[in-house]
A = this chain, B = another copy of it.
């Protein structure tokens, strides 16, 4: 029988793989070479966790100690390199895998921050950061504004999942229970955001001000 530790670890590797695929696809779309593809694959799957580890003082970061993360990332990169057309066709299932990766990273990230003694609020935020950090650097490396800053309920889903783990810890639930509820909640929220096109609000700007901003942007 498989225990919860092993299961979480396998899911963690699955999350790394799926995020790796999203990084590799972004790299291919920008015509990066095979090295650039592997870098974006690794960065997207691991940078969130690396940043969390640096911030909580867990150095060297887990992604640099356990070579499995590297291997999984490289695998994702090579698969995309050789079967781009195939990967490109399965985009909808990929979105679900990505939601699974996000959920898992948010939950495990929050748990690790708690273990390192951070406050509940900060642990929830670090869980969210673990989930979204990789995709943010992926977008910055290809000079896009990070999608997570302007797309549908992505970071919020991660924050909800991480918060459930943290609240569970505060009220004394076992990690098995709070982690599972966090996972499912994050995934469900993200799924519904994709399914029904839920977005966060943007601020109101007067038409006049908006025209002014666009004029300034164009002058650059």
CB within 8 Å of B: which residues of A? 27-37, 39-40, 50, 54-57, 59-61, 64-65, 67, 70, 80-82, 84-85, 88, 116, 118-119, 121-122, 125-126, 136, 140-146, 148-151, 155-156, 199-206, 209, 213
Contacts and interface: CB of A to CB of B under 8 A. Distances in A.
Contacts of A88: 209
A49 to B, nearest CB: 12
B205 A118 contact: no
B84 A40 contact: no
A205 B28 contact: yes
Nearest to A88: B209
A80 to B, nearest CB: 7
A30 to B, nearest CB: 7
Per assembly, the copies of the chain total 3
Contacts of A149: 27, 32-33, 35-36, 39-40, 141
A161 to B, nearest CB: 15
A76 to B, nearest CB: 13
Given A50-B55, A54-B55, A35 B200 contact: yes
A159 to B, nearest CB: 9
